[in-house]
Structure 1
Amino acid sequence: MKNTLTLCLLLLAGILNAQTIQSPSKEISVAFKLTAEGKPSYSVTYKNKQVVNESLLGIALKDTEALDTGFTIANTENKSVNESWKPVLGEQSTIQNKYNQATFSLVQRDTGRKLDIVFKVYDEGVAFRYEFPKQEKLNYFIISDEKTEFNLTGNHKVFWIPGDYDSQEYVYNETKLSEIDNDKLNLNNGIAVKSIGGRYVVQSPLMMKSADNLYLNIFEAAVVNYPVMHLDVNVANYKMKSHLVPNAIGDKAYLQTPAVSPWRTIMVSDDARDIVSSKMILNLNEPSKIDDTSWIKPMKYVGVWWEMHVGISTWDLSGTQDASQKSVGKKPHGATTENTKRYIDFAAKHGFDGVLVEGWNIGWEDWFGNWKEEVFDFTTPYPDFNIQEISDYAKSKNVKMIMHHETSGSVANYERRLDRAYNVMKKYGYPAVKTGYVGKIIPRGEFHDGQAMVNHFNYVPQRAAEYKVMVNSHESSRPTGVSRTWPNYIAAEAARGNEFNGWSVGNPPVHETILPFTRLLGGPMDYTPGVFEIKMSHYDPNKKEQVHTTLVKQLALYITMYSPLQMASDLPQNYEKYSDAFQFIKDVALDWDESKYLEAEPGDYLTIARKAKGTENWFVGAITDENPRNTTISLDFLMPGKKYKATIYQDGKTAHWEKNPINYEIKTIEVTSKSKLKLNLAAGGGTAISIFPAK
């Protein structure tokens, strides 16, 4: 009887100890408390429904006691914030940052060490992080593990990829939480380097849907001086725990107080549009650290790139390396002066801002897979690429050149040469650089997602800002909103991009309906859409590979896959062949005043309308998965009483991503804010619409 009474008193103490923070709408609540052992914990409810059960928090330290138990609450501070800010480039001209915050200042009884846990509760979700105040009893320290739990309430449907320390370039799996199992995956998927952290480790952002139609997303924001967080999944009870990517000797993070962890985020809503449109990740990052941002401009570009992926030309001068890095006979070098001028002429003719050229510099012959320390110097062109002549020619055509820096994963080499590389860019007038990190990392033993590499990926745009250079990273760790702090970090790949369709099993039709709910929450993606010749048999009758969309869906991706840096990735001659469809790519804007998410369902469909910055021009993109879809959208976002001309690019009656992908129709009609449009999307298809005020 005495034991029972003691237990009841402890439980009552726990309930009374809990402190609640609500979102501004009061629909989301977080309950924070210390357990009887002094362990910090939290739980989350949405509209009075439990969505995260009680979950423990804490940090394990190397060679000393963990910061996970024996705490008392020394102080609690609450505040509310309602502010707005203007992104340099973005999906909307103004972003609201509105939340309620609570900071719990904890003291560990036995050690006297201090730890703050800060919660911000938005209308779309919850964010929290650990803060380590400056203190006498904790100065330099090493994190060996993070004990953050996310204990879910059911066996949700989940969209997941393996917790790979080196790559996010996977096709998404759609299963129940209980069915997550990396051992059952077919990993013959074209990824160069794989370092999967365990059988039940998955990556965040992790998109989920419950049986009672709640949408949840677990992610992180503002990953600075810290490794990427993956998730350990207990498939038996739906509990998850943070899984930090280790460094070469197994440590997770080296910190000195004062220090902070990244924000851990949980988005929740009964409307999928709230997840895909959320700006919470951006809001959790620091404001821009660049005072003069006038040089940061959106760019629409073409480039010497896709021709290497489809096997027409090569990156290396010897002409033996194709996209799969196998010798397939002699082929012409792509990055020649003559060929680059051809792309510059095409860009100038059609009003494009820039031209990217890959394979311009010496070193491409034998680097892949050899784990070489010094491969590229980022300054010396091949003899058939006259960088001065090309620079002068581009300038005469009012076209900007985009530099390419493939590091081959040798980050130490790149950082040694970074300033010389930027000086070459400034000398020849290159305002933007595409960086690449294909291969295993050097320093050897480090991973793409470890603390050292996260610091590198954040350092490059910081250093680039001093030269007024914009950065587009490929094969980097996935962004977590850093484009707010460094708006010259204009785009990143960090997911399975369009190029995989050219030479591997490709990306299934569902792929582009998942990415906006996952990868794109952290920042703009250089997906490189715009492929018109869908089947690779166009280049070689023996090739079976193809893009897994219709041609029109490739147009719609310019709206649904947000980026202020967009490539028209196909070959100039293919755009000349389908010039009527190419008009949409020429017209579509890159920077926006407003974005309206009209329809959304992860893994099924997405429809977005965007208003071009400083104009009354609207663009609509609708995409579907492998299933055809009929829907009706309202144009009530248009200005009332005004007439518009809508040009509709739609799948043809027999269009199908596999059977008949280049079947499309184009029609022009007059519309107003009272109009409704019926959209018919083919399997793996889409619709793209440009809407301009009538003259």
Structure 2
Amino acid sequence: MLVSLGMHGQTLKSPNGNFVLEFSINEKGSPLYALSYKGKPVIQPSRLGLELAGGSKTEFNAEIRKQADPKTSLYDGFSLASVKHSAFDETWEPVWGETKTIRNHYNEMEVSLRQNSTERSLTLRFRLFDDGLGFRYEFPAQKNLSYFVLREELTEFALTGDHTAYWIPGDYDTQEYDYTISRLSEIRKLTEAAKTDNLSQTSFSPTGVQTALQLKTQDGLYINIHEAALLNYGCMHLELDDKNFVFRSWITPDANGTRGHLQAPSATPWRTVIVSDDARDIPASHITLNLNEPSKIKDPSWIKPMKYVGVWWEMITGKSEWSYTYDLPAVQIGKTDYTRVKPHGRHGATTENVKRYIDFAARHGFDGVLVEGWNIGWEDWFGNSKDFVFDFVTPYPDFDLEGIYRYAKSKGVKMIMHHETSSSIRNYERHLDKAYQLMNKYEYPAVKSGYVGDIIPRGENHYSQWINNHYQYALEKAAEYKIMVNAHEAVRPTGLSRTYPNLIGNESARGTEYQAFGGSKPNHVSVLPFTRLIGGPMDYTPGIFEMDISKMNPNNKSHVNATLANQLALYVTLSSPLQMAADLIENYGRFPDAFQFIKDVALDWEKSIYLEAEPGEYITVARKAKNSDQWFVGNTGGNTPFTSDISFDFLDAGKRYEAIIYSDAKDAHYKDNPQAYEIRKEIVTSGSRLKQVSVPGGGYAISLKPVK
């Protein structure tokens, strides 16, 4: 049972009755909430509130004062003004996604609070779904709270014990870490070790972690803490009191240390808590999407999932380079004459090379080709804090923009644009309209944008309110030009793809590129569905068939810590409407039978069923292709062997299906024998079962098609 919360207790139950939320105000006038699931406490009584900034910059990073200042307190001195209960139930259709329809069913409690000493009002809105909780702060229009600045958000998540956590360290500038699995009490000592595993060394609390944070209790409850609808606000991290196991929100600050500049009426993003005693329910939850507004794009017919190849992996591995020459130590956009310098001969985005990829895409039925390094400016783009760094419209001399467009169009292939901003936000915004206009001229349907390096304006963080507003500006501007966006290094997604479905992909986590930067943990891809993917799909760039990077670049001794079968499974387990076959195209010619699965697998889904799941150990998913009778199954394992045992009861009764199973060979291993795989065909029905071993770092993939 929950501990008593104090005065003015209010209760809200989920539609199925499994969740109970209790709200109260304590003797200091501070709002509190608690959450239980099937009678078990999940969140103990936890504080809610915010503190406003005062007049001095030195106050912004100070600890919250013991004595509340009425001028800055939005965390005590409240009384209950009113409580309204309501219910909501709808079914909506996403433009693309894991399912054709999504049910949005919740019970809501709107709590209106009044702070008598300041005559200010604050609304707390709670929504309880059958799989968890969403809540946010709302600021009604009022005389005494119009324009205001946040010093801190004081939201707490008081946990019931020393849970197992699947976490990456707090960082204002990158999410590209391998996950650490540990007890909460171990986070402090492990944080520094985790940070040294990444290029970023952002200063942050030694007990700070990022969301989406996955937890598991000793008695088998799975808890996920994240946020939804991140708009006009800084990204939420979590800081842990590791003595009492209480997380407190830690909002990414702006350059001046404040957490947000707001104007009433407005609201914060939703804070989410997804809970189940079955791990499969966590990645299957739609809470994050449901807490976002419906699509603002009235006619989304131009938004189409894409499967693509591209001139990328050869740059990542060091086989070729983004830049055209070595001879320009200081590039001046619009003034440098590239025709007078000698190319170094390792440029990847040449007309000849790109045509090879276009031919490959056309031959194998891929929708698009991504080209990076096509535009001038790459010689000194990184690490120089350079404002005018790219213009996004001028190609290198060896990239025929017009000719490539005509050639791709003649082959029925779309080109995908690349905009690396070098995190010069002002520069990107000053060029954005012309860059998108160029895309329209040459019929580029999608752009991969990048934000590598320190933010300009200098001192800003990648996930602050100011920068998040830029990502949103670029997304909405793209929608005006009917362009889809795949943002890399941007803030992690929070379900905004419901409102703006042209946000067709994000990176925002440690992707395949790190396999060429020393490697990722073999179980990394079995953690991502419980963490990063809670907010939306990831452009993970799977499909690597050659694991020994030195075969592409003798100077790079990295190894891809996955089996070939694992790489196939990722197209199902890491669902995305934008999927890349990321390897060098010549490597696919060595394994044409395995490559067939990448060609066959769907991008958009009628239905998704999570068959098996345990974070960091394994995940098995079955998905039915939209407007098709075909199913696809994917399994990825972890650090140790796993025997998958699944039923095909999701198939239509009375039908026979040909199952093509792509699996690890018995002697496969991600490190020693990653390319050992087997392909076999079986006839299965809804009554069939499959037992299949996935080796360390391995997995399997299945395509299922009805037969007569």
Normalised by the size of structure 1, how large is the TM-score? 0.96
Report 1:19-98 matches (<5 A): 19-63=10-54, 64-98=71-105
Matched, 1:475 2:475: no
**Alignment partner of 1:282: what SS?**
helix
Report 1:295-444 matches (<5 A): 295-318=302-325, 332-444=346-458
Q: Distance in 1 between matches of 2:327 and 2:182?
A: 41
Q: Tell me what 1:175 maps to.
A: 182
Q: Distance in 2 between matches of 1:320 and 1:597?
A: 53
Matched, 1:582 2:589: no
Matched, 1:140 2:147: yes
Q: Distance in 1 between matches of 2:630 and 2:600?
A: 10
| CA deviation profile, 1:486-519 (whole Å, cap 9, x unmatched) | 00000000000001101x2321111001110000
| Aligned residue type for 1:49 | K
**Alignment partner of 1:79: what SS?**
strand
For structure 1, the 5+ residue unaligned runs are 1-10, 322-328
Matched, 1:572 2:588: no
In structure 2, do the counterparts of structure 1 residues 283 and 527 end up closer, same or farther at CA, with 3 Å as the change threshold? same
Q: Tell me what 1:686 maps to.
A: 699
Report 1:536-575 matches (<5 A): 536-541=549-554, 543-575=556-588
Once the two structures are TM-superposed, the CA of residue 544 in structure 1 deviates from its matched residue by: 2.7
Q: Distance in 2 between matches of 1:104 and 1:311?
A: 57
Q: Distance in 1 between matches of 2:183 and 2:195?
A: 23
Once the two structures are TM-superposed, the CA of residue 412 in structure 1 deviates from its matched residue by: 0.7
Q: Distance in 2 between matches of 1:525 and 1:137?
A: 42
Whether the aligned pair in 2 keeps the contact of 1:190 and 1:505 (CA below 8 Å) is no
Report 1:501-516 matches (<5 A): 501-502=515-516, 504-516=517-529
Once the two structures are TM-superposed, the CA of residue 184 in structure 1 deviates from its matched residue by: 4.7
Q: Tell me what 1:466 maps to.
A: 480
State which of 517, 522, 529 in structure 1 corresponds to 2:535.
522
Normalised by the size of structure 2, how large is the TM-score? 0.94
For structure 2, the 5+ residue unaligned runs are 55-70, 329-342
Once the two structures are TM-superposed, the CA of residue 37 in structure 1 deviates from its matched residue by: 1.3
**Alignment partner of 1:471: what SS?**
strand
Whether the aligned pair in 1 keeps the contact of 2:108 and 2:128 (CA below 8 Å) is yes
Q: Tell me what 2:620 maps to.
A: 607
Q: Distance in 2 between matches of 1:398 and 1:269?
A: 46
Q: Distance in 2 between matches of 1:543 and 1:432?
A: 31
Whether the aligned pair in 2 keeps the contact of 1:644 and 1:693 (CA below 8 Å) is yes
Q: Distance in 2 between matches of 1:187 and 1:55?
A: 29
Q: Tell me what 2:667 maps to.
A: 654
Whether the aligned pair in 1 keeps the contact of 2:50 and 2:153 (CA below 8 Å) is yes
Once the two structures are TM-superposed, the CA of residue 542 in structure 1 deviates from its matched residue by: 5.4
Q: Tell me what 1:255 maps to.
A: 262
State which of 624, 635, 646 in structure 1 corresponds to 2:648.
635
| Aligned residue type for 1:94 | T
Once the two structures are TM-superposed, the CA of residue 551 in structure 1 deviates from its matched residue by: 0.5
Q: Tell me what 2:340 maps to.
A: none
In structure 2, do the counterparts of structure 1 residues 401 and 371 end up closer, same or farther at CA, with 3 Å as the change threshold? same
**Alignment partner of 2:529: what SS?**
helix
Matched, 1:665 2:656: no
| Aligned residue type for 2:391 | D
**Alignment partner of 2:280: what SS?**
helix
Q: Distance in 1 between matches of 2:150 and 2:560?
A: 43
Q: Tell me what 2:609 maps to.
A: 596
| Aligned residue type for 1:598 | L
Q: Tell me what 1:17 maps to.
A: 8
State which of 242, 246, 271 in structure 2 corresponds to 1:235.
242
Once the two structures are TM-superposed, the CA of residue 451 in structure 1 deviates from its matched residue by: 0.2
| CA deviation profile, 1:364-384 (whole Å, cap 9, x unmatched) | 001211111111000000010
| CA deviation profile, 1:504-563 (whole Å, cap 9, x unmatched) | 232111100111000000001000000000111322455431111100000000000010
Whether the aligned pair in 2 keeps the contact of 1:192 and 1:438 (CA below 8 Å) is no
* More off after superposition, 310-319 vs 298-307: 310-319
Q: Tell me what 1:3 maps to.
A: none
RMSD of aligned residue pairs (Cα, Å):
1.6
In structure 2, do the counterparts of structure 1 residues 692 and 37 end up closer, same or farther at CA, with 3 Å as the change threshold? same
Once the two structures are TM-superposed, the CA of residue 193 in structure 1 deviates from its matched residue by: 4.0
In structure 2, do the counterparts of structure 1 residues 536 and 388 end up closer, same or farther at CA, with 3 Å as the change threshold? same
Q: Tell me what 2:206 maps to.
A: 199
Q: Distance in 2 between matches of 1:674 and 1:290?
A: 43
| Aligned residue type for 1:100 | N
Q: Percent identity?
A: 55
State which of 256, 264, 272 in structure 1 corresponds to 2:279.
272
Once the two structures are TM-superposed, the CA of residue 461 in structure 1 deviates from its matched residue by: 1.4
Q: Tell me what 1:7 maps to.
A: none
**Alignment partner of 2:380: what SS?**
coil
Once the two structures are TM-superposed, the CA of residue 312 in structure 1 deviates from its matched residue by: 1.4
